[in-house]
Amino acid sequence: MKHNHDYKQAAQKFDITYSRAYAWTQKYEQANDWTALKDRRGKTRGRQPADREEQLLKEIRDLKAKLREREVQIAFSKK
């Protein structure tokens, strides 16, 4: 950014694509904060449910999924 947004030069210097350099610059400029560039992939998975009700609903969904999978396996083995 110090060099008038020379994305090509930045991409070569940091060994990334031009589009990645552009995207990172745009993200930073919109938020005006470096934390906007933080990698948040996969952070929502594995989140523990907040209360007991959510825990029970999650357990029900998991058990239903296992039951459906088992029913498919049984039906497939009968054929």
Virtual CA dihedral for 57, 60, 61, 62, nearest 10 degrees? 120
pLDDT of residue 73: 85
pLDDT of residue 65: 94
pLDDT of residue 48: 67
Cα distances from 28 to residues 14, 21, 33, in angstroms, run: 17, 11, 6
pLDDT tens digits, the chain, 79 residues: what are they? 555 678 888 888 888 999 988 888 888 888 888 777 787 776 665 666 678 888 899 899 999 999 999 988 888 877 6
pLDDT of residue 7: 84
